[in-house]
A = this chain, B = another copy of it.
């Protein structure tokens, strides 16, 4: 059976399962509209540790452990942990992998990391190389501000296009179809396909306008996915992007529309959903942890419950560094898309 469709889309004939998920978020995310559904919400975003970076790593590690604990597994049962984060040299994931002790493949796709990890996990599972793996990604408002923007102590004001980096981590356990998991949290969620992204760059140089930098990549991947598979947007109950925010979401709908795909009726964005308008976060949430925690605690449970049958989860990442911005480079972006479905079997 051909597993490649078009130039960059894939199908997974064995339909790897997502059997458990977990999310661990910060206090501000806990006060948002989904505060009641995240597994854990911390009151102190340092978790009592010495640095924000250590706290972020601990949140990711905890999310992975919790997703495994829900199905009676431990990290020693894992074939593979795949994941990453936004920090230089992905230290949140690297240090989490040290504590978990399982085989580790480090990913960097900026805020697309959760989708990239799920795509690779699905391919490796379908290919017969893993029976049980966990994908995870994290971000932290305070570690990201230090990494990419200004010291928090400066108290800089956000411009109107800014998004707030989500403090949070999400983890999803992926199992082979023939790997029976007793007490799986979900027994009807499968990954059936996806599309690998290409880097897009429309010349945006403003690191406070990530939505505009990332929207072209989301449009490229979503339109490639629909075209490769010969689908109309309404084939999906929802097409859910990671963290374009309100400004980037508008751009995405425009760009898709101009290519003949009207996604307005089915599009949602995790960055627009995670905070309420009263929380004053300007254009919404961002960061690897935004779509990772929303996927884990909101989207997959909704699909499992029957709210949606088929979802295209398309997470975008901005591939800039603080140094590339200082050197005057524009912001290249990428989006990877994963098809997550409710299986009737």
Pick the contact of A88 from B51, B88, B127, B200 — CB < 8 Å?
A: B88
Most buried by B among A53, A108, A323: A108
List residues of chain B with CB within 8 A of the CB of A271: none
**A125: nearest residue on chain B (CB-CB)?**
B127
**A148: nearest residue on chain B (CB-CB)?**
B89
Chain B's nearest CB lies how many Å from the CB of A201?
A: 5
List residues of chain B with CB within 8 A of the CB of A198: 97, 101-104
List residues of chain B with CB within 8 A of the CB of A54: 327
User: Within residues 36 to 89 of chain A, which ones have a CB less than 8 A from any CB in chain B?
Assistant: 50-51, 53-54, 79-80, 84, 86-89
Chain B's nearest CB lies how many Å from the CB of A53?
A: 6
Q: Does A226 contact B (CB under 8 A)?
A: no
List residues of chain B with CB within 8 A of the CB of A265: none
List residues of chain B with CB within 8 A of the CB of A123: 123-124, 127, 129
Q: Is the CB of A128 within 8 A of B3?
A: yes
Task: Determine the distance from Cα of A106 to Cα of B108 in the docked complex, in whole angstroms.
Answer: 5
Most buried by B among A2, A79, A88: A88
List residues of chain B with CB within 8 A of the CB of A126: 127, 129
Chain B's nearest CB lies how many Å from the CB of A71?
A: 19
Task: Determine the distance from Cα of A130 to Cα of B8 in the docked complex, in whole angstroms.
Answer: 9
Chain B's nearest CB lies how many Å from the CB of A134?
A: 14
Scoring A residues 93 to 125 as 1 if CB is less than 8 Å from chain B, else 0, what string do you get? 011011001111111111000001001100110
User: Which residues of A line the B interface, CB within 8 A?
Assistant: 1-4, 7-8, 10, 50-51, 53-54, 79-80, 84, 86-91, 94-95, 97-98, 101-110, 116, 119-120, 123-124, 126-131, 147, 196-201, 319-324, 327, 329, 332, 334
User: Can you list 23 contacts pairing A with B, beta carbon distance less than 8 Å?
Assistant: A4-B129, A4-B131, A7-B103, A8-B79, A8-B103, A80-B196, A87-B323, A88-B323, A89-B110, A89-B319, A89-B320, A91-B329, A94-B332, A95-B319, A98-B199, A104-B197, A104-B199, A105-B116, A107-B107, A123-B129, A124-B124, A126-B127, A127-B128
